[in-house]
Chain A
Amino acid sequence: MHPAFSVIFLTTLIGIGQGLFLALYTGQVYALANLIPVQESLGFYAIGSLIALVFLLLGLISSVFHLGRPERAWRAATMWRISWLSREVIVLPLFMFLVFLYGITHYFGWTQPLFMVADTLAVDLSLIIGLLASISAFALFICTAMIYASLKFLQEWHTPLTVLNYSLLGLASGFMFAAAFSAYASLDLVSLFGTWAVIFTVLGAISRGASLVRNRNLRDKYGLRTAIGVRHPTLKQLSQGFMGGAFNTKEFFHGRTPGALRLIKLFFLLAVFPVPIAVLATAYVMESSLLPIAAFAIQYLGLIAERWYFFAEAKHPQNVYYQSMA
């Protein structure tokens, strides 16, 4: 497939937004359980929610560039019963709205307990909204990834690992940003978010590695023989029927050499997984407040390459019809 940067930015940016929100909510739950000191609502949760919203909005804007007719995008919400893309189109704004509400609740300090559960757990408005937003964050991971995982012809994508990768890499980058944000704002949460970022990065490495191994061992289900229905061992295309370009020769071919692909794979395998962990560990040892930002930036660059590779790696069955120009 030809990787489209609109979709690469959409999926990576909303991944950060989702992960960052989940990090904020994790912080609130930890504070509720008295594992960390209670954070000041305005500075931490409200600004954190705002930043998560900015990431989500940037992703949304980027997705618009993928559409030929963005003015009709509202129509994309209609087929939610059958289309994962339609479901994503609904869940993304819903999640953004809930994050907005969550930020507003904290901004105005509407955090007085509404009721108590078992005399110990004080439930306030932000906790309820946060729970709903967390559920929709995970729902969004599933919708986004299922857009790709549901296409059975693209065998590289048609696996539960796709959903796992999108979720874990989104969580890793979101928690990494939360760690960088806490370090920058000199909050006492760097080690909490940093630890979770490392855990998600390691889990992501295992799951992404598993999908790479799986895809390397894939054998094409299809071939030229069934594609044109001539059962002969020796078969080749002489002409695809035209010498100019066409949608079929552009949309489904990445046009890079195998060497370039290997290089990009190597880059993302380093930049997404070991390097940010090493930088974060160094930051922990040196108590640096800038290195976590570097760790996030490196991982995000790596994620762009990871998503690029995700698209480039998928071989579309239609390509067997477009092998020879003359």
Chain B
Amino acid sequence: MTQLALVIDLNVCVGCHACVTSCKEWNSSGWAGPLPDERPYDADPSGVFFNRVQTFEVGCFPHTETVHFPKSCLHCEDPPCVPVCPTGASYKREDNGIVLVDYDKCIGCKYCSWACPYGAREIDAKNKVMKKCTLCIDRITDESLPESERKPACVLACPTSARIFGDIHDPESSASVAIREQGGYQLQPEWGTQPANHYLPRRRSQMQIHEDELIRADNPLRKEEVDMPIEQGDTLDDVAW
């Protein structure tokens, strides 16, 4: 069975919110839309979003790191929001594993949002139905689009390619390879919901630069017999002729 999902690299995400705005844009006008805003230009604005980027601080000042954390529906393999739905409006697609809401069946009782430990569902206060990330189902299944554009809006928008979209049940997909080879993990695994979306861990990435690497071996200063900050030794140029 196919299970489409996102793999989000926390080591690469810079927290620019491009995925948030592109998601809002695409889904406001697409199949899942609208995503209404209430009082958008007044005090206490509110609105529906399928995707958010949150920011966390790790460590104690001054030794802190900032982690940007995009958060959307994780399309669990055992979604707790689906069996609680009294109308069957909430369902998991058999063919690609995406968890969706049938807006024509939803009665807006909010029970599914209570049953989701991740807070991935939001009520559309205007249309009175529950809404959530669809992985841009209307885009990824649209065969009139070129193959390269059949991806969720957030994935296409990400300027740092922090989001990988693919079938995590296909061991050769780029998403599966990333999970396998870069330590992909799930959120709140203690509940046993088996989220399909995975995250790649934040890694400590620093370059070790040695002092001699700052000096070019063929530094012209050397030819001018200016004192070099450290002993240069012979370079290949000195011995090869």
Contact = CB atoms under 8 A, between A and B. Distances in A.
B106 A226 contact: no
Given A67-B109, A68-B129, A238-B56, 6 more contacts: A79-B85, A154-B114, A229-B187, A238-B57, A241-B20, A316-B117
Contacts of A73: 107
A72 B105 contact: yes
Contact of A247 (B48, B106, B107): B48
Interface stretch (B118-126, B164-172, B231-239): B118-126
B67 A230 contact: yes
Interface stretch (A18-26, A110-118, A144-152, A172-180): A144-152
Interface of A: 1, 66-70, 72-73, 75-79, 82-86, 89, 147, 150-154, 221-222, 224, 226-230, 232, 234-242, 244-248, 250-252, 316-319, 321-322
Interface stretch (B58-66, B133-141, B154-162, B213-221): B58-66
Contacts of A152: 80, 191
Given A68-B108, A318-B116, A245 B190 contact: no
B122 A248 contact: yes
Contact of A79 (B48, B86, B115): B86
B31 interface: no
B82 to A, nearest CB: 9
B128 to A, nearest CB: 3
Nearest to B60: A234
Contact of B128 (A69, A76, A151): A69
Contacts of B190: 221-222, 226
A229 B201 contact: yes
Contacts of B96: none
Contacts of B118: 317-318, 321
B111 A147 contact: yes
Interface in B173-224: 185-191, 199, 201-202
Contacts of B45: 244-245
Nearest to A73: B107
A69 B106 contact: yes
Contacts of B150: none
A198 B118 CA distance: 42
B179 to A, nearest CB: 13
Q: Which 6 A-B pairs have the closest CB atoms?
A: A68-B108, A318-B119, A68-B128, A241-B52, A86-B86, A245-B46
A321 B71 contact: yes
Interface residues of B, number: 61
Given A78-B86, A151-B115, A316-B119, A232 B109 contact: no
Contacts of A89: 86
The B interface is mostly helix, strand or loop, or mixed, namely: loop
Contacts of A76: 86-87, 107, 109
A42 to B, nearest CB: 38
A70 B56 contact: no
B117 A317 contact: yes
Contacts of A77: 86
Contacts of A222: 117, 188, 190-191
B4 to A, nearest CB: 21
Nearest to A245: B46
B87 A235 contact: no
B46 A235 contact: no
Contact of A228 (B111, B121, B122, B187): B187
A222 B192 CA distance: 12
Contact of B66 (A66, A72, A221, A238): A238
A227 to B, nearest CB: 6
Nearest to A235: B58
A239 B188 CA distance: 20
Nearest to A314: B114
Most B C-beta atoms less than 10 A away, residue of A67, A82, A237, A244: A244
Nearest to B43: A244
A232 B69 CA distance: 15
B44 A242 contact: no
A58 B168 CA distance: 49
